[in-house]
Amino acid sequence: MQSITTVTQKGQVTLPIGIRQLLKIKSYDKVMISFSRGKIIIEPVLNILDFADSVSVNPKVSVSQARKLMEKNYRPV
């Protein structure tokens, strides 16, 4: 799918509705913008809550312990 859009004075572009729907990008979702081989690439960024159903909970680990583990082991993408 291709679409033409305009860059505003502030450097902003609007993602066309068809592309947003195809990629399931909603208002206020995050996207990653990168540059590779002369092209701009825009990809949706998954929210941690998107994985909520696929994560099992360990009742032996407190919220504060889980937070400390996350801060210790988290690596930004």
Digits of tens for pLDDT over the chain (77 positions)? 888 999 999 999 999 999 999 999 999 888 989 999 999 999 888 776 666 655 566 677 787 887 888 888 877 76
CA 3 to chain centre: 21
Question: Could you tell me which residues come within 8 angstroms of residue 32 by beta carbon, excluding any fewer than 6 positions away?
Answer: 42, 43, 44, 45, 77
Tokens 């583990």 — which residue? Answer: 69
Domain ranges of the chain: 17-73
Q: Are 59 and 52 in contact (CB under 8 A)?
A: no
Question: Could you tell me which residues come within 8 angstroms of residue 25 by beta carbon, excluding any fewer than 6 positions away?
Answer: 15, 19, 31, 44
